[in-house]
Amino acid sequence: MKNLFAVLVLSVISICSVSAQTANHKNQFNVDKSALAIEGYDPVAYFTSSKPIKGKKEFNLTAEGVTYQFANAQNKNTFKANPAKYEPQYGGWCAYAMGATGEKVSVDPETYKIINGKLFLFYNRFFNNTLKDWNKDESNLKINADKSWAKFNP
């Protein structure tokens, strides 16, 4: 009986821990009120089509509390097999802002760069394309952005 109780307690603790991690993951990501990431753009398409493509509601997938939309079932299955490969860096926040100021700034999903097989998104509004600024000092900004993101997502 003691063993059963111990197993039950450990199971509850494990479930609570996973739930808390999922909630933290979602809370740190750049999502809308319905937890939709990248304004509905297909994260896999950036890699396979070499351009941003809007996803479709019928191809939704939620990973760790964050919902993604995909252009087709193949992209959805590709993402499902390896979400970390396709998720945008820094929770989908502007990579330049994360590196320059350590702040979470919204992005334009059509302004992006693939670096070493990872998706980076950038703010691009009001004549301020931060991808251009990122390209001027990418290595230092990336180092700073990695450090800043670690504070949000330990």
**3-state secondary structure (DSSP) of residue 151:** helix
Whole-angstrom distance, CA of residue 97 vs CA of residue 123: 8
Give start and end residues of each alpha helix (H) in the chain: 2-28, 45-48, 73-81, 83-86, 95-100, 130-136, 138-152
**Do the Cβ atoms of 90 and 98 come closer than 8 Å?**
yes
Give the pLDDT of residue 146: 98
Give the pLDDT of residue 117: 97
**Residues for the chain: how many in total?**
154
Overall average pLDDT of the 78-98 stretch: 98
pLDDT category of residue 153 using cuts at 50, 70 and 90: confident
Predicted TM-score (pTM) of the model is 0.83
Whole-angstrom distance, CA of residue 92 vs CA of residue 83: 13
Give the pLDDT of residue 4: 44
Q: Is the pLDDT of residue 18 over 70?
A: no
Whole-angstrom distance, CA of residue 146 vs CA of residue 141: 8
Give the pLDDT of residue 127: 87
pLDDT category of residue 16 using cuts at 50, 70 and 90: very low
Q: Which residue bears the tokens 């993951």?
A: 25
Q: Is the pLDDT of residue 20 over 90?
A: no
Q: Is the pLDDT of residue 21 over 60?
A: no
For residue range 26-74, what is the model confidence (pLDDT) as tens digits? Answer: 589 999 999 999 999 999 999 999 999 999 999 999 999 999 999 999 9
For residue range 89-128, what is the model confidence (pLDDT) as tens digits? Answer: 999 999 999 999 999 999 999 999 999 999 999 999 988 9
